[in-house]
Amino acid sequence: MVGLAISLLLLGSAPPAICTAPPDYYQITLVPTRRVPTARLARGTARLTYADSPFGIAVSARGHYRYNVEVVVENLRPVPGGEFVAWMATPDLKQAVRMGPVTDNVRGRTEWNKFLVFITLEPLSQPPAARWQGPVVMRGLSRSGLMHTMAGHGPYEQEPCAVYGYY
């Protein structure tokens, strides 16, 4: 079993006796892709909390939310010769960041508007690469990624999507 611990999402040494969970609403559920048989029963979450900030909310100079991302996975059974690595990427995959091996709780930071969090199976023998080589084992999309055009939906049902570049 790898990375089975559910961590308290607390920084520092003395967690308070009473704590609330990070905002469930923006948590990213990681879903197995079924491409790796030992991972079919895996479950996982990428939890978002605001980066440290004197303002309560954390935003960049351009107005992006700044998130701490923590990946927590259960039931991801090890594969000989391979290791599970967590990544974050923009939805078009043009930008990607290697968060690290899923040996414990993997943490990262992002300020992308919409992003993917995913886990791949990488060959153990090779040094860490900038892009993944192995199959995607689990994946999830930030809640913001669910936001899509209203053309063709609801009150805009008659609005032709193609006019706005959607097909």
Partner 1 sequence: MPATAADSVVWRMPPMDMSMPMMPGLEDALPPVPPALPDQQAMGIPAARPSAVVPLADGDTLQLEATLVRRQIGDRTFVMYGYNQQYPGPLLRVTRGSTVVVVFRNELEDPTTVHWHGLRLANRFDGVAGLTQAPVAQGESFTYEVYFPDTGIYWYHPHMREDMQQDLGLYGNMLVQPDQDHYYGAVNAEETLLLDDLLLDVHGLLPWGDASPTHALMGRFGNVMLTNGVTDYQLSVPRGAVVRFFLTNVANARTFNVTFGGARIKVLASDVSRYEREVFVESIPIAPAERYVVDVYFEEPGTVAITNAIQAINHFRGEFYPHVDTLGMVTITDEAADPDYGEAFRVPRAYADVTAEVDMLREHFDRPPDKELALTVRVQNLPVPIMMAMEIDTLYVPPMEWNDAMPMMNWLSTGSQVTWIMRDVDTGKENMDIRWEFALGDIVKVRIFNDPKSFHPMNHPVHVHGQRFLVVAMDGVPNRNLVWKDTAVLPVGSTMDLLIEMSNPGDWMAHCHIAEHLSAGMMLGFTVHGADTRP
Q: 70 to 129, contacts with partner 1 by CB under 8 A?
A: 113-114
Smallest separation (angstroms) from partner 1 to the CB of 62: 5
Q: Quick one: which of 29, 53, 95, 133 contacts partner 1 (CB under 8 A)?
A: 53
Closest to partner 1 by CB, 54 vs 127, is 54
Cα–Cα distance list, 18 to 49, 101, 110 (Å): 17, 30, 27
Smallest separation (angstroms) from partner 1 to the CB of 151: 7
Bridge partners (DSSP) of residue 74 are: 43
Q: Quick one: which of 25, 80, 92, 126 contacts partner 1 (CB under 8 A)?
A: 25
Closest to partner 1 by CB, 75 vs 90, is 90
DSSP sequence for the chain: -BS--------SS---SS-PPS-GGG-EEEEE-SSSGGGTT-EEEEEEEEPS-TTSS-B-TTS-B-EEEEEEEESB---TTEEEEEEEE-TTSSSEEEEEETTS-EEEEE--SS-EEEEEEEETTSPP-SS--S-EEEEEE-GGGG----TTSGGGTTS-GGGGT--
Q: 129 to 158, contacts with partner 1 by CB under 8 A?
A: 143-151, 153-156, 158
Q: How many residues bind partner 1 (CB under 8 A)?
A: 48
Smallest separation (angstroms) from partner 1 to the CB of 146: 4
Smallest separation (angstroms) from partner 1 to the CB of 71: 17
Query: Which residues are near partner 1 by CB under 8 A?
Result: 9-12, 16-26, 49-50, 52-57, 59-65, 113-114, 143-151, 153-156, 158-159, 164
